[in-house]
Structure formats: C-alpha cells, structure tokens
Amino acid sequence: MQKITPFLWFNDNAEEAANFYTAIFKNSKIKHIARYGEAGPGPKGSVMTVSFELNGNPFIALNGGPHFKFNESISFVIDCDSQEEIDHLWNALLADGGQPSHCGWLKDRFGLSWQVVPPVLGEMLSNQSGKSVKVMEAMLRMDKLDIATLKQAYDEA
C-alpha cells in the first residue's frame, strides 16, 4: 500500500478538478467526497475533500480557500509510452484554459503543473557519448515533446 498521497489545495473547485483528472487518466475514479459540517470552516454541506485515484494512484483534493496557489516547484511527471499518449494527455490537460510551457511542461486550467514525457528521454539525456547535448538542444526548442524529433537528434549526434 502506498504510504504517501499527494494532497492538493484548491480554492473551491476540488470536486471539479478531481472529475477533470479522472476523466483524462485510465484506471481512475472518485473514491469519496467529504463535506463540511456545522463547524466549517467551509459552508455546511459544501465539498471539503475529494479522495480519488489517477491510474490507480491515490490523491486527495481539498477546498481550502484562496490562501495558497500551485506553482511550478511541484509538478507531476507522466511517463508516456508513445507519441499518441503524449498528444492525448497534453491536449486533455490543456483543455479549457491550460497553458503550455517548454520541454514537455504545462499548467492545467487549475494551475497544477505537469510534465508529459517519454521515458526514452531520460535514457537519451543520460548518454555519456555526447549525444545528450543534441537531445537537450532539440528538447529546449519544444513545448510538447516529439519523440521522433528527439530520437532523430540522438541518432544524428
């Protein structure tokens, strides 16, 4: 059993975010919704926390108010086995107001940062023969990562 669970602080849209994420990732579901009671601090009956799974991994989302915002110092890495998977997840996470960034990074409409990457990228970047320089140069020119272009840079180095 996993002993560390990501706990995500939202202003007031934790349930909307959990529904968004579980619709994108396979093997995902809402597990439990807890609501604020008489003691608050949220309005009685409003969503306090949402427990959910993404690809079988547990997450908890809290409606904690506007006090804290997501930033790039924390992100989730998604290892994608194909360009098709990269394209699908990239587009789905950018839907309805997400923002692309560089080198496979993006911010979804809730402000949460994701890295959508192929595992082969790490292998190519760790190559000690100098090929990693060309792969890094190719990656730095991309927003969404393109496996074929990365492999071409590797092979041509």
Residue 79 is predicted with a pLDDT of 96
Residue 22 sits in the same domain as residue 37: yes
Q: How far is CA 121 from CA 26, 79, 133, in A?
A: 23, 10, 12
| 74 and 64 both lie in a single domain | no
pTM over 0.85: yes
Q: What is the predicted pLDDT for the residue at 20?
A: 98
Domain boundary among 51, 68, 85: 68
Residue 132 and residue 120: Cα distance in Å, rounded?
12
pLDDT, residue 50, reads 98
Within 10 angstroms of residue 138's Cβ, the number of other Cβ atoms is: 20
Q: What is the pLDDT of residue 152?
A: 96
Domain count, the chain: 2
Residues 155 and 80 in one domain: yes
Domain hosting 100: range is: 70-157
What is the C-alpha separation between 51 and 60, in angstroms, rounded?
A: 5
User: Residue 124 sits in a domain of what CATH number?
Assistant: 3.10.180.10
Q: Are residues 86 and 104 in the same domain?
A: yes
Whether 48 and 58 map to the same domain: the answer is yes
Q: Are residues 64 and 74 in the same domain?
A: no
- Show the low-confidence residues of the chain (pLDDT under 50): none
My answer on whether 62 and 86 are in the same domain is no
The pLDDT value given to residue 68: 95
Whole-number pLDDT of residue 130: 84
